[in-house]
Amino acid sequence: MSSTPRSESPDNSFEVLVSQSVGTEPLGSLADLLPVLARDLADIDWRLQRILGARYATLTEAASYACSTGGKRVRPLLIAAYFRALGASSVEKIHALAGAFQLIHTASLVHDDVIDHAEARRGRPSMPRAYGLPLAIVTGDYLFVRAFELAAEYPPSIILRCGEACADLVEGEVIQEEGRFDLSTGKDHYFRVVERKTGAIVAAGLASATEIAGADPEVVEAAATYGRSVGIAFQIRDDLLDIFGDPDLMGKPLYSDFREGNPTLPSLETYARLDGRRQTEFERLFQLRRKHARHLLRLHELAEEAGAEAIVAEQARWWADKAVRSLSVLPPGPYRTLLERLARGQAERRY
């Protein structure tokens, strides 16, 4: 019997998460799954919170703050939904696994905010802003350590996959750093970054959950393909929203990639489609190490003139469709349908 404490009703914030993650179409019969998944996510969150305590109270507080601002819990949602799509009646076996991958993701966001000098995340001060640079760095390290403590409950193959996902994160950051302010890096460089920084961790989490469920190797590989494709669709959409999104919905200011010189897909598509004079202007502004508001707004205008929003949105949908195709290994049913909606929702979201 599970020792997880139960409340009378699931946390409504998790139901909101599921609703926001499946796109704009009405949920219909899938709405019946929301209370189940909301409970799953509440249990995973409880398992995660149990491991955040440190001997030093300030570190505990900082870790809890990082987790409250560090992501929308889409990864645990995908893991729980995929596990149930395989026929599981309970997700208790993967509570620690989902918590581990959420902590890895959160730790990477903390370190990203340090590297990018971010001021805000999800409408609240970033970790470096709230706690200072030194504590933000060690808190990210602490979350990685706690993630592997959770992963240690599983066989060596799962721990190894977690380690490989972390190595991919680091490699992705190094590759991204090497390409800053350089629009000549091209789309291959961009996708090498995105696959490692975003796709790999989702792929590893879903492949691990599928292995724990006892699925055949081809199903484990399909789960990894789904996770990688959803992760890439998510990141492409995130990069698009950084230019064309609503900062109030996103909880952070726009144009961070312009400011930091990250050659994301919207910038690369803009650069490739502008005529000679405007292309030169875009490149000159993009390469400025210190950009003022007028520079950022002009970069936005040039991206609009190039039609980058529609072009990049279509590429996000392509990756979502690839994720959906990979689900053919699963038996038909409401959770498979939900996973299809979740994949497409990542390519359509506005937050």
**Is the residue at 20 inside a domain?**
no
Report pLDDT digits (tens) over 171-217.
999 999 999 999 999 999 999 999 999 999 999 999 999 999 999 99
**Is the residue at 75 inside a domain?**
yes
Q: Is the pLDDT of residue 24 over 50?
A: yes
Report the distance separating Cα 104 and Cα 215, nearest Å.
Answer: 24
The answer to whether the beta carbons of residues 257 and 267 sit under 8 Å apart is yes
Report pLDDT digits (tens) over 49-69.
889 988 889 999 999 999 987
**Is the residue at 5 inside a domain?**
no
Q: pTM score, two decimals?
A: 0.90
Average pLDDT, integer, range 93-122:
90
Range of the domain at 300: 32-345
Write the CATH number for 190. 1.10.600.10
**Is the residue at 6 inside a domain?**
no
**Is the residue at 167 inside a domain?**
yes
**What is the number of other CB atoms lying within 10 angstroms of the CB of residue 273?**
16
Q: How many domains does the chain have?
A: 1
Report pLDDT digits (tens) over 217-266.
999 999 999 999 999 999 999 999 999 999 887 777 899 999 999 999 99
pLDDT of residue 32: 86
Give just the sign of the alpha carbon dihedral 12, 39, 73, 330.
negative
pLDDT of residue 1: 35
**Is the residue at 8 inside a domain?**
no
**Is the residue at 10 inside a domain?**
no
Q: Is the pLDDT of residue 26 over 80?
A: no
The answer to whether the beta carbons of residues 4 and 95 sit under 8 Å apart is yes
Report the distance separating Cα 212 and Cα 96, nearest Å.
Answer: 12
Q: Is the pLDDT of residue 87 over 90?
A: yes
Average pLDDT, the chain: 90
**Is the residue at 24 inside a domain?**
no
